[in-house]
Structure 1
């Protein structure tokens, strides 16, 4: 028989194990609680005085360039983009607008390309750079995607959590770009919960619809992504959408109300005089040898078209290549048609693929009357290029059907008429057919539009130019004040 001492010792050991486990758990929870991100305290979010190196206060100017900024209490905002800040113009414009009204901004994202000059020069805007994922996690292989995507998401999650929770002061609001939604929305929701911060989502598109371009709409990861986006959308206190159509979808599918804030061009995008145009064309390496012909007259033997692309799957660049090939063939029989200089700007994963295709087309003499050049320009030169061009081309096909390409907004800001892929619901919110642009749904239609516009028999290109110049009068500041200014209580 077992003695009483045996049971006593066994109970004592079990009790010690439980006590030790409780001590470990308690220590862990204590460490977690002590190391949680600090909370936002409205009483500490005081009006900010910006000082120079000698400690003297710098008088900040308002958006009109003259009025002194009134630094308002409780107006600190974290602006977040899980992408390259320099290639996220809308989020940069948000930051600039908040700072113009006296709010402090902590702009979080990857710092891989040149930033807007107003971001760099404004002392109210602080960049919180993210660390890029290791190169092996950024592979574009579709085969490895199901394995690498979760690993990349985990890397981004811990990096983003540290940046939002510990490398920036607690803010009253956090404005997050979506997509990418994974892991951005989850991490933002967690940090906002810990820091007593209000989450605002700026919907540029739907993350699951972009993922569907890569994997197909029936793929399990796409369905999980759609559910994830739906769930975490409900953790936000407010929502902003780029179109009325997107706001409608958010209401009907997700049950959340969004304010439509249409993209508008920044001040850097503006029309230029014919004299400034000629100077720029002569200075830019990609246009210098054609500058005289491009500047000669409205009946110039050359026309300049511009297309900005991210070289991704949601922009089918082969549409433009096929159209330019067809146009070049027509030039052979229609000798009155001008030749085309096409400048393609941007960076992206499919760039080398299409450059190889262009090389083959040149070898096969399919582009005899067309010259295609690629360029990566400073923001200032890109804005001047748009203003100097004869026609802008948008290849954005819209994975969701309810977003709009920012590049078209910039083109209109520079007074540049546009032809673009128009086979999606939100297109008419931006482009008015035969007023400031035209939509196409095939390469054949695009080729025909190029012929019609450059033949100039009915002066349609001139009409579209006038419409684009009229559209250039609509500016970001007015649109942002109407929506963002009221949401962040700055106006």
Structure 2
């Protein structure tokens, strides 16, 4: 039998203490490099000779012109823009990066690199993409039961990958702008890095992480309660906050006691209204619309209407509402010959895509969509913008888990001059869509069906009026909004 003597105990205790001490020392010596505005290494980039010859009118030229006389100038605008999601499907965070670079700030854009990014992000010499290691397929599941077991492992993987990307693969910066949600583990890791790097932590509130989790588990679930407390705690440590709506800023003030600057989504320059020739050319080129292009280009007399519904195929968008409305519409076309047929294109990627595709296949097999064609597409940013500019009507099914966020897709539609019908049963909807002016709202399948019938046939004159409102809305752009709010906070705009 093992003789556990006091000497043995002391030896083991000393050994454990040495191990712990060594690990702590190693941790302290390998902490991420601190941000220092006087450190020339943060601004002395490797500059190709051809880049040096470029006009100083560009952001890079501006950076190069001033670096010799004031090395702190561009470091003061240096920012880590963080999204624990696909960069290509995070337009708002890409717009942040573009705006910072436009004013001469250096940007590390950190997130998953799963799809094509905005062309300006890809081409800007001041924007460096730092990809986060992707989540293994083993940790991806839509099962509610498996979610409880997989979620902690997924969070641990994301925490380590994010920590490594923020602390060791991205340069120190004065600012860190983090998208929320997801809040777990993003807020904790980001705050930890900011503390040790002397970086200002800024949260860009798109929604509340706990409210999205509640869609799966319910608001009374212990994990949802913990997530809410976690989000509340780390929100209070941030240097500043942006909110996508006034309603969200109000909730943050009332619930968390923090003051957020409302920064409304606006479209970038890539989204714009199209002329008839541009529209016809695009419809003829795009694979999904090519065979219908001739009919779609006939204007009001066309036997077809092009309907577009962008989506992330997530739990906060119930596509059953749209599918049921299209089934009923198809049945009506048989008896009401004045109704045009519908070509509906659903764009995007997401976890519930295959679920709804199987439903669409079943409806086609049962011949319930004889007068409606439903197609799905994943497009480049340029083609996505052109598709919105070519459509007759946009549909938003975003239901808002919190009630105070807004869908970016509607902003893009307005940028392209596209009128919108959307789920309107949440508080922030009127901040974006003015009923009967640039769009219409619905709260169930029947109301959506009536809107399609009204706008495409019975009250067809209403659609051009909504189009005028959407065209007017297209004049409000991201730069105008960003410069007056975020640009002033980051001291890039006076």
TM-score range, shorter chain: over 0.9
- Find the counterpart in structure 1 of residue 470 from structure 2: 468
- Find the counterpart in structure 2 of residue 349 from structure 1: 351
Q: 1:30-429 to 2 correspondence within 5 Å?
A: 30-44=25-39, 51-53=47-49, 56-62=52-58, 72-429=74-431
Judge conservation of contact 2:159–2:186 (CA < 8 Å) in 1.
yes
Deviation at 1:312, TM superposition (A): 1.2
Residues 488, 11 of structure 1: alpha-carbon distance in 2 compared, 3 angstrom cutoff: same
For residues 206-251 of structure 1, the C-alpha deviation after alignment (integer angstroms, 9 at most, x for no partner) is: 0010001111111111111111111111111100010000000000
Residues 291, 19 of structure 1: alpha-carbon distance in 2 compared, 3 angstrom cutoff: closer
Which has the higher mean CA deviation after the structures are superposed, 13-22 or 410-419?
13-22
- Answer with 1 or 2: which has the greater Rg: 1
Where does structure 1 differ by over 3 angstroms across 4 or more consecutive aligned residues? Answer: 10-26, 45-50, 53-63, 65-73
Judge conservation of contact 1:200–1:238 (CA < 8 Å) in 2.
yes
Q: How many residues align?
A: 481
Judge conservation of contact 2:95–2:268 (CA < 8 Å) in 1.
yes
Residues 62, 244 of structure 1: alpha-carbon distance in 2 compared, 3 angstrom cutoff: farther
TM-score scaled by length of structure 2:
0.93
Judge conservation of contact 2:321–2:444 (CA < 8 Å) in 1.
yes
Judge conservation of contact 2:75–2:174 (CA < 8 Å) in 1.
no
Deviation at 1:334, TM superposition (A): 1.3
Gaps of 5+ in 1: 1-9
Q: Secondary structure at the match of 1:270?
A: coil
Q: Secondary structure at the match of 1:72?
A: helix
Judge conservation of contact 1:69–1:102 (CA < 8 Å) in 2.
no
Residues 408, 60 of structure 1: alpha-carbon distance in 2 compared, 3 angstrom cutoff: farther
Q: Secondary structure at the match of 2:299?
A: coil
Gaps of 5+ in 2: 67-72
**Structure 2 CA distance for aligned equivalents of residues 93 and 479 of structure 1:** 11
Judge conservation of contact 2:247–2:428 (CA < 8 Å) in 1.
yes
Q: Secondary structure at the match of 1:360?
A: helix
TM-score scaled by length of structure 1:
0.94
Deviation at 1:364, TM superposition (A): 2.0
Deviation at 1:58, TM superposition (A): 3.7
- Provide the aligned C-alpha RMSD in A: 2.1
